[in-house]
């Protein structure tokens, strides 16, 4: 009989472990789905988006639905995978969409203005602080597929908590 009690006890422990593992797996799937397909927080820092975002960094919420359904437009603040370094994300403003003509100048390299036409499937992004931003003026139009999401809410610092409107 002691052996049967041991087997029954082991079955109970194993069932409990499997039940808890299933709960953890479901939770991790939920986190993955939410963070990659619905909404996620990110840290945006640097001088390129002054005065909209703080130089020391803001924690902002990014929704990932709009780029997937084609609802990104002029003036939207977007999180973009960097075309120069895919390990980095950039927070910039959409200035032009496909088919638009952009007149721009690069204050770091030249005082001359240039003209570019945004090709199909691309957007033109720029930082709000044109004197301290590496953006489409340096690397050209960005493929729409590199847009990770639309920034819509500032969470940190508490003094700036709220919506980020165009």
Domains and CATH numbers, the chain: 38-163 (2.10.109.10)
Residue 1: the pLDDT is 57
Q: Can you give the pLDDT at residue 166?
A: 65
Would you state the pLDDT for residue 151? 92
CA distance 16 to 157: 42
- Taking every pair of C-alpha atoms in the chain, what is the biggest distance, in angstroms? 92
The confidence score (pLDDT) of residue 26 equals 92
pLDDT at 117: 85
Residue ranges of the chain whose pLDDT lies below 70: 1-4, 107-111, 166
Q: Which of 26, 92, 120, 160 is catalytic?
A: 92
Cα 55 from Cα 127, distance rounded (Å): 12
Instruction: Sort strands 77-81 and 89-96 into parallel, antiparallel or unpaired.
Output: antiparallel
Look at residue 165 and give its three-state secondary structure.
coil
- The share of the chain scoring above pLDDT 90, in percent, equals 31
Judge contact between 137 and 117, C-beta under 8 A.
no
pLDDT of residue 3: 64
Predicted structure pTM score = 0.77
pLDDT (0 to 100) of residue 144: 92
Which residue in the list 26, 48, 81, 82 is annotated as catalytic?
48
- Non-local CB neighbours of 71 within 8 Å, separated by 6+ positions: 65, 150
48 counts as catalytic: yes
């Amino acid at each position: 009989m002691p052996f049967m009690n041991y087997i029954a006890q082991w079955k109970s422990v194993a069932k409990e472990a499997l039940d808890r593992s299933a709960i953890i797996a479901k939770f991790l799937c939920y986190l993955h789905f939410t963070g990659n397909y619905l909404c996620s927080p990110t840290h945006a820092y640097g001088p390129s988006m002054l005065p909209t975002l703080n130089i020391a960094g803001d924690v902002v919420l990014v929704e990932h639905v709009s780029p997937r359904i084609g609802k990104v437009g002029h003036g939207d603040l977007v999180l973009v995978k960097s075309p120069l370094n895919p390990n980095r994300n950039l927070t910039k403003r959409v200035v032009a969409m496909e088919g638009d003509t952009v007149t721009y100048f690069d204050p770091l390299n030249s005082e001359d203005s240039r003209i570019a036409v945004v090709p199909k499937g691309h957007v033109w992004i720029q930082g709000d602080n044109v004197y301290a931003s590496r953006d489409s003026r340096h690397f050209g139009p960005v493929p729409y597929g590199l847009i990770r999401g639309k920034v819509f809410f500032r969470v940190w610092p508490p003094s700036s908590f709220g919506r980020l409107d165009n």
